[in-house]
Amino acid sequence: MFANRVTALLGVEIPIVQAPMGYIARSPLAAAVSNAGAMGIIETSSGELDAVREEIRRMRNLTDRPFGVNIAQNLVRDDSIVDFVVGNGVRFVTTSAGDPNRFTARLKDADLTVFHVVPSLRAALKAVDAGVDGLVVEGSEGGGFKNPKDVSTMVLLPLVASRVDVPIIAAGGFVDGRTMAAALALGAEGVQMGTRMVATAESPIHDNWKQAIVAAPETGTVLLNRHAAPAVRVLRTELAETYEFDTTRNAMEAMARHRDLYFAGDLTAGLPFAGQVSGRIDAIRPVAEVIDECARDCLDVIADLARRYPPA
């Protein structure tokens, strides 16, 4: 269905990547994504490397399909995770939040496929120079950690695609077949989904966060910390609004009780990361259903466009 460089390099049928998300991107979710023919990813941004190692081991029992690991460089202090990833049969790695020169050569020497996450053209060109196999190009409408100098996917994706030859996975605002088709039209060969994957049945976090995404309108998120690093897009809760225009505090201080947010469902205990695409998510659904429908609808949109606008 999707014969391109992303499906070939990742060894998957459907070019959808489940986003790396601290505590969320773990084996129950990642295995469901890989078993549905797409690419499940295990996170390291929680910094809980012992738990991460265990999750990677668990994946072997939950799927025989390819899966990947994200190395969130600014949050991973212990370099030995690279050797662990290499030594445990992981073939695909995305690196993010740091210099692409830090791990790319080591991972490539071990014959892994490496994509680097970039929020700007400058970062994209630097990653290509570092020798990555591909890029995850991330627009600012996405949830989670963001470039404070925000650029939307609609602008950033075709710009980067016009300047690099490596394959691109687009991130930020992708949720269904129509947006997936748009990503392919803008120069990508796959999409990465975060918020959509948070609001799935297999996502291991508390239902209150998932329901808050379902209830959120398209205006229901806010980009915080433009004045401090990291900038982060979160649901527009009462707590989040106290940080919106306050440049004297770093919003990440509000994540001190994050476990109560993630696992006890207390939305006042931290800032629930989510993207603007929350406004287009109207139900919590099983992963396989989401991926299957995205793939079919994407091809339907492309076929419909070809029918309506046949080449002259």
Per CB under 6 A, residues contacting ligand FMN are 19-22, 24, 43, 45, 70, 72, 96-97, 117, 138, 141-145, 171-174, 192-196, 198, 273-275, 277
CB of 153 to ligand FMN, least distance (A): 8
Nearer Cβ to ligand FMN (21/112) = 21
Nearer Cβ to ligand FMN (204/286) = 204
d(CA 239, CA 254): 8
Please give the helix or strand (H or E) that residue 188 lies within, else none: none
The helix/strand/coil state of 114 is: strand
CB of 311 to ligand FMN, least distance (A): 32
d(CA 87, CA 90): 8
Nearer Cβ to ligand FMN (35/152) = 152
Nearer Cβ to ligand FMN (65/146) = 146
CB of 309 to ligand FMN, least distance (A): 28
Contacts from 224-228 at CB under 8 Å and sequence distance 24+? 224/251, 224/271, 225/148, 225/250, 225/251, 225/252, 226/148, 226/150, 227/148, 228/252
Tokens of 93: 């790695």
CB of 44 to ligand FMN, least distance (A): 8
- Whether 196 contacts 285, CB under 8 Å: no
CB of 204 to ligand FMN, least distance (A): 12
Nearer Cβ to ligand FMN (68/142) = 142
Nearer Cβ to ligand FMN (7/46) = 46
Among all residues, whose Cβ is closest to ligand FMN? 194
CB of 170 to ligand FMN, least distance (A): 9
Please give the helix or strand (H or E) that residue 145 lies within, else none: strand 144-146
- Whether 89 contacts 60, CB under 8 Å: yes
CB of 15 to ligand FMN, least distance (A): 15
The Cα angle at residue 263 between residues 260 and 267, in degrees rounded to 5 = 50
Nearer Cβ to ligand FMN (280/303) = 280
d(CA 274, CA 205): 13
